[in-house]
Amino acid sequence: MTDHIKKEKSILKQTSLAMFIIILITLISAELIILNQSYKSLLQSLDKSLVAHTESVLSVIDIDEAGEVIVDFDDSIIREFIEDDNEAYFLIINVEKKSIIISSPTLQGRNIHIPETVFTERIHSPHFWEDTLEGNETRFCAITKTTFPDPDDYSEEVIQKHTRQLIIITGKGLRHLNEEFTQLLILTSSVLGAGLIFLLIMIRAILIYNLKPLKWFKKNVSLISENNLNPLPVPQVNEIKSVGETLNDVILRLRNAFDREKRFSSNVAHELRTPISEIKTLVEVVLKFTDDLSEEEKLIFADIFDSVIMMEIIVANLLILSRIDSNNFTTQGEEFNFVHLIEKICSRYTKYADTRGVLLKQLSIGNPVINADKEMLRIICENLISNAIEYSVEKSSIDINTHFSEDNFTLSIVNETEIITKEDIPLLFERFWRKDETRTSDNNHSGLGLALVKSLADYLKYDIEVKFEENIYFSISISGKSGG
């Protein structure tokens, strides 16, 4: 079955990202609204200018007695329609004939697409549209005007005869408007971009400040361990306070459960010492006088004696663990030869190793004289070596290597095993844990050995490292200060 590994989530990162997206969408929307309104405003300003130009052209149109349209431009009006750079145009059309009466010099050789509605609807109010003149976008304004001769100069008959429907069209290129709009776009984008960065910095700073209690609480939670089950200081923040109080309640219950377990183990160990000693004494006496015993009875009493020794070891280990757990354990530093200590332990276990066909090999590098608690190291080494023998493949070897430097020492024990696997490593130091395959009646291990090693190592501030290489070579190393 495939395990789904979930990535850790960060409130700060997620909130910052969410705020960034919200602010970005808001600012983009605001910019679009501003730009749209600005473009409309620029366009309205252009339209007013076109209407003003159209009315200026209208003001200089007249009709003579022959019905000819006369346009009398002065310099102030015609000047803008002469130069191409101004992109300004005008056109006067006779509606009845659909003919051009006059056009600005800037329209020479250029055709304007005039919407049909300008002719059919006879619009007297301004009509606007956009077209392209030789690739340049241009906005046009058309006004339909009924024009007739001056009543002061001509008769009613002449006026009625020569009344004309004229369409006056003026146009202006959108290049300047687009340039203004582009500058406005750059300006608003710069301002909004700077605003976005400023807001994000402020929001992140506010989030960091407001998440300080959570960060502080997380730091305190990380300090919780088997040896540190003190209630946590709870931040006075509504969102965290209830979680902290619940966690403290769990911690107190857990600590009480651990205390009960420690007291129980200690009490049981103390209570068992006396009856175990009595049984041991009785069995020793029986084994001294075996003349009246059959061979079967001798074997039974020998098994009883082995079991009593095993119980003694269990009780002794429980008492040591109990004293360590209650911090009622003292160390006694002394200077000794660590290699000699290991050699004595190996010689004690040589016979047991021979029965399994296991060879103990020692290698030492450096000065083996250290200053440490000899008795504690003896317990650690005995448990590691006996476990290595117990779980090694038959007819294999165990490498017991020691390395000494000026301030540190390292003990490394490597053995070949088919019983322990990588999956067992997290369970190795649990009390009374034993691999199922090893739970047999002739097993001399209680499951406390490695738990005791771990507790002693932690108490002495030694480092323990467990490795499993090539799925067969099991390695356990202990390292620590070699002086003082």
Please give the average per-residue pLDDT across 204-210, as a whole number. Answer: 86
Per domain, the residue ranges of the chain are 15-181, 238-325, 333-481
pLDDT recorded at residue 313: 76
Determine the pLDDT at residue 337: 92
pLDDT digit string, tens, across residues 237-290: 887 888 888 888 988 888 888 777 777 767 777 777 788 888 888 888 888 887
Helix axes 295-325, 449-459, angle to 10 degrees: 30
CA-closest candidate to residue 175, choices 30, 310, 34, 42: 42
CA torsion 17-23-25-27 (nearest 10°) is -150
Q: Counting runs of H as helices and runs of E as strands, what totals does the chain give? A: 11, 14
- Give the closest residue to 420 by CA, choosing from 428, 430, 412: 428
Q: Which residues of 268-295 are buried (b: 16+ CB within 10 A; e: fewer)?
A: ebeebeeebeebbeebeebeeeeeeeee
**Residue 4 scores a pLDDT above 70:** no
Q: Could you tell me if 145 and 168 are in contact, meaning their C-beta atoms sit under 8 angstroms apart? A: yes
Domain 333-481, CATH homologous superfamily name and number = Histidine kinase-like ATPase, C-terminal domain (3.30.565.10)
Answer yes or no: is pLDDT of 354 > 60.
yes
How far is residue 475 from each of residues 382, 385, 402, measured CA to CA in Å? 16, 12, 13
Predicted confidence (pLDDT) at residue 326 exceeds the cutoff of 80: no
Q: Is the pLDDT of residue 460 over 60?
A: yes
| pLDDT surpassing 50 at residue 397 | yes
Residue 446 pLDDT more than 70?
no
pLDDT digits (tens, 9 = 90+) for 74-103: 666 666 676 656 688 888 888 877 788 888
Please check the confidence at residue 5 and state whether its pLDDT lies above 70: no
Amino acid identity, position 92:
I
At 69 the pLDDT is 76
pLDDT at 329 over 60: yes
DSSP letters of 177-194? HHHHHHHHHHHHHHHHHH
How does DSSP classify residue 228? B
Higher pLDDT, 109 or 216: 216
> 321, exposed or middle or buried, with CB in 10 Å at 0-12, 13-18, 19+?
buried
Tokens representing 389? 């023998």
The stretch 289-295 carries a mean pLDDT of 80
- Averaged pLDDT for residues 368-393: 88
CATH, range 238-325: 1.10.287.130
* pLDDT number for residue 154: 72
445 falls in which pLDDT band (50, 70, 90)? low
**What pLDDT was estimated at residue 399?**
92
Mean pLDDT on 95-122:
80
Tokens in use for 62?
């007249």
What pLDDT score was predicted for residue 479? 83
pLDDT of residue 3: 47
Q: Average pLDDT for residues 205-215, to the nearest whole number?
A: 85
